[in-house]
Amino acid sequence: HALRNALIPVVALAAVEFGFMLGGSVVIETVFSLQGIGQLAWDAIARDDFPVVQAVVLLIAVIYIVLTLLADVLNALLDPRIRVK
């Protein structure tokens, strides 16, 4: 009975933490020389390639918004008191 109520903050925190992981990907990929979206963003900033920077920022923003929406939907499924009115 308590698991459904205990999962509400876990789901919300997981969505926020994934957003922090997206932001930290630039640092991790630069330090460890990994190829990914963070390295692409870093290289685009260094080359003043503004369309690529805009695309990366837009992609990360869309991913973050979708994850937040998914967390809200999961919270509504876990707790029937959370409803849109």
Q: Residue 78 is inside which H or E element, if any? A: helix 50-78
Residue-wise pLDDT for 1-11, tens only, equals 678 788 888 98
Q: Which two tokens stand for residue 83?
A: 């409803």
pLDDT of residue 48: 95
pLDDT of residue 85: 66
Do 36 and 29 meet the contact criterion of CB atoms below 8 Å apart?
A: yes
pLDDT confidence band for 79 (50 / 70 / 90): confident
What is the pTM assigned to this prediction?
Answer: 0.79
Do 7 and 13 meet the contact criterion of CB atoms below 8 Å apart?
A: no
Residue-wise pLDDT for 10-65, tens only, equals 988 998 898 888 888 888 988 898 899 989 999 999 999 999 999 999 999 999 99
Q: With the CA atoms of 10, 64, 40 and 58 taken in that order, what torsion angle do they form, in degrees rounded to the nearest 10?
A: -170
Do 56 and 41 meet the contact criterion of CB atoms below 8 Å apart?
A: yes
Residue located via tokens 């930290």: 24
Domain ranges across the chain: 2-78
